[in-house]
Amino acid sequence: MRHCIFHVDVNSAFLSFSAVKRLRENPSALDLRTVPSAVGGDVSKRHGVITAKSLPAKRYGIRTGEPVVSALKKCPDLILIPSDFSTYRSYSKTLIHLLRQFSPLVEQASIDEAYLDMGVLNAPIDTAVQIKDQIRRQLGFTVNVGISTNKLLAKMASDFEKPDRVHTLWPEEISEKLWPLPLSSLYGCGRASASRLASYGMHTIGDAANAECGILQSILGERAGSCLWSSANGRGSATVTSEREAAKSYSNEQTTVHDIHRENYDRDMPPLLKSLSQQVARRLKQASVRALTIGIIVKTGTFRRFTRQLTLNQPTNDPARLFSVCESLMKELLFGADGLFQEKQVVRLVGVSAQHLETPAFEQLSLFDLHPPEKRNTVGSAPSALLPSAPSAAPPSVPSAASVSSAAPVSSAALASSTALASSTALTSSAASAPSATSLTSDKEQRLKQMLKQLNLRYGEGIVRRGTSSHKHP
């Protein structure tokens, strides 16, 4: 008996989910899993990339991630169906609910896979078979279940022969089951890394596992080389977390289709940076956070990794702001005096990162922030909604930029009393143009308070309250 970690992976998930939905809506429909079929691209225009494929399509050599045009050349009769993410999310949620019947510790790794901490089991294979069979009966699609003592080995085991299979990969089975596999099949080892190691005579996972770690680090870089060596030797985490911890940072990376260098920078880099910035900004907004530190990540053709960061004055989740910062950092890194392009380096991977996250439950604003940008008054006229009507026809003026900064937070002194609003030193450049303190009646002050309340501004504290948090602003 030993502590067991299961990895449950849906076979051809997107295709399977769509196939099951079609069969439930029409039991006489063709089961897409039994014919060459794939998900991805624009079905009407027949372009894009393959995101999922059936096993019959795999026999034609069709790979996930390859262009639809290429897949159609391999199999002209390939059936293409569009993506359906609402269906994917629905089946994914149902799958996780079912898995929690077998263990309270279920960690969802992606929309179609999860880890289960099964504790100490007498018959782990029998339990795994029970899980996969129940999923097939109740949900209509098949899964593979990998069994081991850590998450890495369990995941590798679930990727053995498919579909609808249970596999073990115990530590004592590594040399027999894992090491003979090609390096490209090792989780975390991409095709480019595998190709680079192959040029040094390392073709299998066993070749990398039995090499010195320092050799891999010299080829792939210190971090990547160390991680790959540990994975090849079956080392991984055994901790299954049932609840996602709040992310401390967000990043998106993408390997370039071809190397980016000085000559094609203007054509290829800005669109890629913009896309990555939008992806990171979207994730920040989904988490209702903003980032104070924005960074870029670059991996060169020699697999060296470089980063640059900038800490902002104010946190943001605006994609345009992220892109602007990242573009500036990228130009500095590549075109600067000691830039990578000066060293004749090329870029093969680009990333955008966001760190030092803040939740905007409370936010200090200036008086001008109380209006949308297009309706804010310039520094020459007072915000009419915040001032009582003056006895004279001429509106009172606000102080110059030198005396009142639009970036300064609203203070309690500026709002707590009508005297502060009427003060000639705070709100006017001419004492003669300001209303006197005695002209602000109690009724007018009450109207002012009511207007501030409607603006969700806590009168007298100088902060705007956002969100539902009940915590006090420090």
DSSP character string of 426-456 = HH-S-GGGSPPGGGS-HHHHHHHHHHHHHTT
Distances (CA, A) of 22 to 28, 33, 149: 9, 11, 38
Question: Which SS3 state, helix, strand or coil, does residue 364 take?
Answer: coil
Q: In this structure, how many other beta carbons lie within 10 angstroms of the beta carbon of residue 438?
A: 9
| CA gap 220, 216 in Å, rounded | 6
Active-site residue, 445 included: no
Beta-carbon contacts of 28 under 8 Å, excluding residues fewer than 6 positions away, are: none
Q: In this structure, how many other beta carbons lie within 10 angstroms of the beta carbon of residue 267?
A: 9
Helix (H) or strand (E) holding 224: helix 222-232
Q: Which residue in this structure is represented by tokens 């039994």?
A: 34
Distances (CA, A) of 391 to 161, 223, 433, 438, 449: 86, 71, 10, 12, 20
| Cβ proximity of 348 and 300 under 8 Å | yes
| CA gap 260, 347 in Å, rounded | 5
Amino acid in position 191: R
Q: Structure tokens of 307? A: 């980063």
CA 396, chain centre distance (Å): 49
Helix (H) or strand (E) holding 351: strand 347-358
Q: List phi, psi (to 5°) of 324.
A: -60, -45
| CA gap 388, 386 in Å, rounded | 7
Of residues 283, 282, 306, the one with CA closest to residue 295: 306
Helix (H) or strand (E) holding 127: helix 124-139
Of residues 389, 387, 451, the one with CA closest to residue 421: 387
| Cβ proximity of 52 and 11 under 8 Å | no
Helix (H) or strand (E) holding 372: none
Amino acid in position 341: F
Distances (CA, A) of 246 to 237, 285, 296: 19, 14, 22
- The one catalytic residue in 113, 243, 245, 358 is 113
Active site (catalytic) residues: 113
